[in-house]
Amino acid sequence: MILVIAEKNDAAKQIARLLSESGKPKNDKVYDTPIYRFRRGGEDWVCIGLRGHILAPDFPTALQYAPDQGWFSVTEDGEVLPASVPENLDRPPFSGANQVTKAGKPKKPFTADGVDIKGWKVPSLPYLVWAPVEKKPAEKGIIRALKNLAKKADEVIIATDFDREGELIGSDALAMVRDVNQTAPALRARYSAYTKQEIEHAFDHLVELDQDLADAGESRQYIDLIWGAALTRYLTMAKFGGLGNVRSAGRVQTPTLALVVAREKERQAFVPEDYWVITGACSKGGEPFKVGHTKGRFWKKDEADAAWARVQDAKQATVTDVAKKSRKAQPPAPFNTTSLQAAAAAEGLAPGRTMRIAESLYMDGLISYPRVDNTVYPSSLDLKAQVKMLKGVPAYGPACDKILAGGQIHATRGKQESTDHPPIYPTGVGDPDKLDPAAWKLYNLIARRFLATLMDAAVIEGTKVSLDINGEPFSAAGDVLAYPGYRLAYPYGMKKDEQLPELATGDVVAVDSLSLDAKQTEPPARYSQGKLIQEMEKRGLGTKSTRASIIDRLFDVKYLKNNPVEPSQLGMAVIEALHEYAPTVTTPEMTSELEESMTHVAEGGLTESQVVDQSRALLAGMMDSLIEHKDDLGNAISDAVTADARVGTCPKCGKDLVVKDSPRTRSRFIGCMGWPDCDVTYPVPGRNGDKIEPLDEPCPECGAPRLRVKPFRSKAYEQCVNPQCPTNVEEDVVVGTCAACAEAGRHGDLVAHKSERTGKRFIRCTNYDECGTSYPLPARGKLSATGETCEHCGAPVVEIETERGPWRICVNMECPGKAEKKAAPRGRGRRASK
């Protein structure tokens, strides 16, 4: 039997299909892992797909020391791994007097045998830097299936992806095979497209596995782990902030954070400049249009004033020139991962979320493989068939017909061409009623993008009108979509038409309004998540598969907040600290230098251990100075954490009030840093996921801090944190009678009132102990009784003054009337919907 090992199930399926003589391999399973059996050249073949890397590098639990053999560790399997601990550390650390407890026992993290490197103790970190790394099984089910097949294999073919990580994945898989089968010859198939010709050719021209290339990949793994683990443990333990408060660092995440911090510093250093503009509106025959002084920005106030003095009382303007120019907007290139993430981010989907949704659309057969660099459709892709298929989505009908009517289909091409996977395109018919709104949004974007890449350029007719107002030059510009082209399918990011009335040189038009406005230049904008992804790609940080999750990680460890992306005080402090003592890890150069080293390993000039040890030595020097400055750094970090949590000043004792986590009740509250001397606490306003931001001025009524609360997907409001504050007092309102109590033959009033303890308002029956009736408030705002009861459930109907005006609603959140409303089709986004 010939065993073929692919990188993923999807690839295994394709390879089996293309190699099998019948074209129909037999689906089978070993334990839970799908495999594909087929016949070829008179032999039985089996193809298995892995799940990417099946082994993960990790540290052993302890470093041991023996006078005759130095430092070493022992794996679970009893294998002895020597550590490359250098001379200055090459002695048992527990011999030092300060490393021993009063009782004479060695201090943690040092054990009698050596160093406990599993505990995250700072003194163990110099040893961690030199600890051996072992490969542990990460995909036990797959490994079990692989070994089961390998036992029976007469020949093994590694058919993982044709790149460095693929070579490493294949090499790890071969190591697993060798555990159970030492004799079967193993060869490598190298292919870069799932086409019959390419796959046949690869399997007819098998080569040796490139161990140097795999070693290059493994050095990358080791260096990332060693630096990441050592720096993460250091940052976390320099000032331990309690469980679940990991402060991470890494070759990709730290330079990415540094980008955001650098932009924030630029903004802080920005000095706004004053300028003035003169703008207004003119009209011809009642049709208004916008005009502006051709100077645009006046940088000198006297010049602006002089121009303003000439035009401020003007009633008429004369058209001095009309220039028309049409321009073409070319259709966009096919989507790869990065361009999809950027486009989806502009539609409100963060890259991490985009990838999670894309994965599920892919699994449901609605889109092609979502992790690609390629932006050129392969010739093997039947574009016409895909368009015909997309006619199944009613909204795409007109665009599909237009494409199909044009005869030969021409697709746009992007700059990146590789042949591993096609660009991202729709492979199935999506249904807006079956997909959840976010999934539909992404599918719709992908499908429309695909159609757009097959359509004509759009033509925009631009008109530039020059006007004279009392001797001052003004202009007006109009843009009209004259021919929609690809815009018929792809309205994303489209500007609204700026329509001008029909104007000719010499026309005299009315000046309706003019104004002189003082403005200031703006600091450089913060990164959106889409822009940050693009910036990472530009600087060689991360890969298409990792960038989104690395940004998510920076949010998880609270280095980043908000969108557009902003660093927290903690994020800034971490960058400052690492910039000072471990600058290597804060810049993209670490990645480019690593790439260079890996090239040396792949070409055989350097060995894996040479490159890794070099990197360990560099880190060791930095770790020494980090440990030397541990207290400074720990304090800077804990100050930053406090600053991030700070909401204001305690009105009682003047110390900081901060948001604290109550581990006991798993909830948050606002407490005084002066605790236990000061007992001031407040509830956190709003609901749990709401974003809160402290306001500069304390409450004028009670002196407690005021916060800006931004609930998810609704408008922000400002509120004093003190529930007893007069600004927060809301009278109890009787909204109706309790139906449950009436049924039980007693009387109960439903009253909207506020909890003393939490400051949250809710509706509750005066006989709550007996009937248990209570409702949350349907919305924030002044509430009044209407005397009406709900036609669906009999609960009282109240009126609430919301920001959008008065709103009548039944107080019962489980009211069947609400369920009906929810099931009814809702209006979708502004554009590009069904």
Partner DNA sequence: GCAAGGTC
**Which residues form the interface with DNA (CB under 7 A)?**
7-10, 49, 51-54, 56-59, 119-120, 138-139, 161, 163, 165, 169, 220-221, 224-225, 227-229, 232-233, 236-237, 240, 243, 246, 248-254, 359, 363, 371, 542-546, 549-550, 553, 591
**Shortest Å, Cβ 380 to DNA:** 20
Tokens representing 393 are 């989505």
Secondary structure of residue 268 in the 3-state scheme:
helix
* Least distance between DNA and beta carbon 178 (Å): 20
Nearest CB to DNA, comparing residues 164 and 780: 164
CB atoms within 10 A of CB 801: 14
Choose between 236 and 427: whose C-beta lies nearer to DNA: 236
Bridge-based pairing state of the strands 43-49 and 2-6: parallel
State the nearest-atom distance from the C-beta of 595 to DNA, in Å. Answer: 10
User: With left for phi above 0 and alpha for psi between -120 and 50, is residue 376 left, alpha or beta?
Assistant: beta
Both ends of the chain: CA-CA distance in Å? 52
- Give every CB contact of residue 87 below 8 A, 6+ residues apart in sequence: none
3-state secondary structure of 277: strand
Q: Where are the alpha helices (DSSP H) in 90-133?
A: 125-128
Tell me the closest approach of the beta carbon of residue 12 to DNA, in angstroms.
Answer: 9
Sheet holding 706-710, edge to edge: 691-694, 706-710, 717-720
Asked if residues 512 and 367 have their Cβ atoms less than 8 Å apart, the reply is no
For residue 34, the minimal CB distance to DNA (Å) is 9
Can 369 be counted among the known catalytic residues? yes
Determine which one of 191, 222, 369, 425 is catalytic: 369
Which of 551, 546, 545, 164 has its CA nearest to residue 370?
545
Q: Which is nearer to DNA, 289 or 369 (CB)?
A: 369
CB of 783 to DNA, least distance (A): 44
Residues in a beta bridge with 649: 656
Verify cis geometry, omega within 30 degrees of 0, for the bond prior to 34.
no
Q: Is 66 helix (H, G, I), strand (E, B) or coil?
A: strand
Place of tokens 């007006």: 476
Q: CA 706, CA 290: separation in Å to the nearest integer?
A: 41
Query: Least distance (Å) from DNA to the CB of residue 646?
Result: 23
The 3-state DSSP composition of the chain as helix, strand, coil percent (nearest 5) reads 35, 25, 40
Q: How far is the CB of 586 from DNA (least distance, A)?
A: 11
Cβ 185 to DNA, closest distance in Å?
26
Element (H, E) at 74: strand 70-74
How far is Cα 429 from Cα 415, in angstroms, rounded to an integer?
28
Tell me whether residue 561 is exposed, middle or buried, using C-beta atoms within 10 angstroms of its C-beta: 0 to 12, 13 to 18, 19 or more.
Answer: middle
Cα angle value 362/368/371 (rounded, 5°):
85
Q: Which residues contact 347 (CB under 8 A, 6 or more apart)?
A: 441, 445, 492
The DSSP result for 683-724, as a single string, is: EPPS-TT-EEEE-SSPPTTT---EEEEE-TTS--EEEES-TT
State in angstroms the smallest separation of the CB of 254 from DNA. Answer: 6
Taking each helix axis as running N to C, give the angle between helix 547-556 and helix 253-269, from 0 to 180 degrees, rounded to the nearest 10: 70
Residue 173 CB partners (closer than 8 Å, separation 6+): 5, 50, 54, 146, 158, 160
Q: Which helix (H) or strand (E) holds 468?
A: strand 458-469
In the complex, what is the shortest distance from the CB of residue 220 to DNA, in angstroms, rounded to a whole number?
7
Residue nearer to DNA on the CB measure, 6 or 572: 6
Contact between residue 23 and residue 36 where contact means Cβ atoms under 8 Å apart: no
Spatial contact of 442 and 426, defined as CB atoms under 8 Å apart: no
Q: Give the DSSP letter of residue 315.
A: -
The Cα–Cα gap between 598 and 576 comes to 29
Residues annotated as catalytic are: 369
